[in-house]
Amino acid sequence: MNYCKNKQELISRAQAGDMTAQFDLALFYWYGVGTPEDHKQGRGIEQDRKQAEYWFEQAAKQGCKDAQEWVEAIRQGDAR
């Protein structure tokens, strides 16, 4: 998989307001995607909970139910 290309496309779509891309990007930031070698080469997405929270909130504002559940779980300390 070409993480670098897909990562940039996903980020661009999320920044453009694509709710699904925002939610997907939030999940990728929450869990991290790729291997340590991918990260060294600028591919993949390293775990970054603050970025995840930001993108969950963006998707939630647009009505994404799953994102709304994540935001609530994060606030309650129950995020997976």
The answer to whether the CB of 37 falls within 8 A of the CB of 30 is: no
Residue 73 has pLDDT above 70, yes or no: yes
Pairwise CA distance, residues 79 & 33, whole Å = 18
Going by C-alpha positions, the residue among 20, 28, 16 that lies closest to residue 67 is 20
Domain limits, the chain: 3-76
For the stretch 18-58, pLDDT in tens is 999 999 999 999 999 888 888 788 778 899 999 999 999 99
Residue 1 has pLDDT above 50, yes or no: no
Query: What are all long-range contacts of 61-67, with beta carbons under 8 Å and residues at least 24 apart?
Result: 62/17, 62/19, 62/22, 63/19, 64/19, 64/20, 64/22, 64/23, 66/23, 67/19, 67/22, 67/23, 67/26
For the stretch 28-37, pLDDT in tens is 999 998 888 8
* pTM listed for this prediction: 0.88
